[in-house]
Structure 1
Amino acid sequence: MKPLAALLVLALIWAVGLFAFTERVARSTPAREPARADGVVALTGAGSNERIGAAMELLQDGKARRMLVSGVSRQASREDIRTVSRAVRRLYDCCVDLGFNAADTVGNARETQEWARSLRYDSLIVVTADYHMPRAMLELRGAMPDTRLTAYPVATSVVDAHRWWRTSGGVRLMVGEYTKYLAILGREAILELGDKPAAGPKKG
């Protein structure tokens, strides 16, 4: 196959994958009501108010015993987060933990894993933006393979997943998320190959 033809085939495969990815995101909301879990975790980022608010509603509805807000800005106070979450103070004071160490999705996964392990939680509801959920679940499952994780994606004001192509910002965001998602898939594939034992010499 000529180089130009090969590039065109790769570009077509990439484009088909992008539209499959964005269709998956668009279909993910509104999220189904999750089964009860030990904990609920909200991953911060663009559209954090909607993410934290949705996680708090699940906590208030008895879907989890405790809640973690992962990746909180060090400039934010507990009161700032309570205001964003619209939480009842009694519930917030007793049952909401804030994580300040995560600066990205990899950090979210690590912070969530440490929190769940400290509480001996075996099941979590994961709340984040719809467009961020596929990548977040890859990272979390890699960090917590023995924990039951339930995705609870939230539609945010950052991008309309059903019409993402209509704005340059929507295009940049979805293409960026898809590219990062592919990078994680590639990384996990390489790690899996590295974990396989090398084939020994054949016996004659």
Structure 2
Amino acid sequence: MRRLFLLGIGLGVVGTAAFLAGFVVFAWRVPREEVVLSGTADGIVALTGGASRVVDAVELLASGRGRRLLITGVHRSTSSSELARGVPDFEQLFDCCIDLDHEARNTIGNAVETRRWTLGRGFRSLVVVTSSYHMPRAMAELGHRLPGVALIPYPVVTRARAEPWWSNGANARLLMTEYVKYIVALARIRIEPVVDLTEAAQRRRSPPAVPPGPAT
């Protein structure tokens, strides 16, 4: 009994150490500076959750980094004209090149709606715009539902998030919460069936089967 007790304590210590080490690696890899894109993609997707995500995504679209932009997770009461007011220099893009998704309520929903949009447009590459701390989970969810599509991360870094996580209690709590969500997402993805993008796209293009007529 004592051996089992000591074994349990040992496993708990090892598990805790592994969890904390994983968190340190996760936090260390979260970008504290925005990247500079050198190439282009077929489309751009912005996951809502901060005003700067939408602004940065629209600016990327305006600079030719993608042909079309999807803003996913928009509140149902928010219209394109309201979002356009946040980027007055590029309001005209909302009339021609920006699509809004009002269905997604979380990152899984973002990935589902992005997959639907990507298949419908026939895109094979996407620039992904979301907050730096959210990027690992967003890339995991999108990559799971869009195998074969090239995903280019564009992490958005706000001034508050640019501080080292260990020097800011709010940042540390945010990263720890996101780290737990990321682990849960990876565990769920491992047991979910992988979506075959080619097969799914072919099913969308194929005409529905016509039931046979009555025998004569």
TM over 0.5: yes
Structure index of larger Rg: 2
Given that 1:42 and 1:51 are in contact with CA atoms closer than 8 Å, whether structure 2 keeps it comes out as: yes
Query: In 2, Cα distance between the equivalents of 1:161 and 1:106?
Result: 26
Query: In 1, Cα distance between the equivalents of 2:30 and 2:79?
Result: 32
Query: In 2, Cα distance between the equivalents of 1:26 and 1:61?
Result: 22
Distance 1:71 1:87, change over 3 A: farther
In the other structure, the counterpart of 1:38 is 42
Moved more, 3-12 or 123-132: 3-12
Query: Given the alignment, which residue of 127, 130, 154 partners 1:128?
Result: 130
What is the CA RMSD across the aligned residues, in angstroms? 1.9
Identity of aligned residues (%): 39
**Are 1:9 and 2:25 an aligned pair?**
no
TM-score, structure 1 as length reference? 0.86
The list of structure 1 runs, each at least 4 consecutive aligned residues, that deviate by more than 4 angstroms after superposition, is none
Amino acid at match of 1:8: V
In the other structure, the counterpart of 1:184 is 185
Query: In 1, Cα distance between the equivalents of 2:110 and 2:54?
Result: 14
Q: How far 1:87 sits from its partner (Å)?
A: 4.5
Which runs of 5 or more structure 2 residues have no equivalent in the other structure? Answer: 1-5, 194-216
- Residue 68 of structure 1 aligns to a residue whose secondary structure is strand
TM-score, structure 2 as length reference? 0.81
Amino acid at match of 2:121: L
Query: In 2, Cα distance between the equivalents of 1:49 and 1:85?
Result: 10
Distance 1:166 1:122, change over 3 A: same
Deviation string 1:78-110 (CA, Å, 9 cap, x unpaired) is 111112244422222111111100000000001
Query: In 2, Cα distance between the equivalents of 1:73 and 1:179?
Result: 25
In the other structure, the counterpart of 1:99 is 101
Q: How far 1:112 sits from its partner (Å)?
A: 0.6
Deviation string 1:123-178 (CA, Å, 9 cap, x unpaired) is 11000000000000000000111211111111025x52542233432222111110
In the other structure, the counterpart of 1:164 is 165
Query: Given the alignment, which residue of 24, 27, 30 partners 1:22?
Result: 27
Query: In 2, Cα distance between the equivalents of 1:174 and 1:43?
Result: 18
In the other structure, the counterpart of 2:201 is none
Query: Given the alignment, which residue of 50, 53, 61 partners 1:51?
Result: 53
Given that 1:71 and 1:103 are in contact with CA atoms closer than 8 Å, whether structure 2 keeps it comes out as: yes
Query: In 2, Cα distance between the equivalents of 1:91 and 1:50?
Result: 17
Given that 1:70 and 1:98 are in contact with CA atoms closer than 8 Å, whether structure 2 keeps it comes out as: yes
In the other structure, the counterpart of 2:143 is 141
Which runs of 5 or more structure 1 residues have no equivalent in the other structure? Answer: 193-204
Given that 2:126 and 2:151 are in contact with CA atoms closer than 8 Å, whether structure 1 keeps it comes out as: yes
Query: In 2, Cα distance between the equivalents of 1:139 and 1:86?
Result: 32
Given that 1:22 and 1:161 are in contact with CA atoms closer than 8 Å, whether structure 2 keeps it comes out as: no
- Residue 59 of structure 1 aligns to a residue whose secondary structure is helix
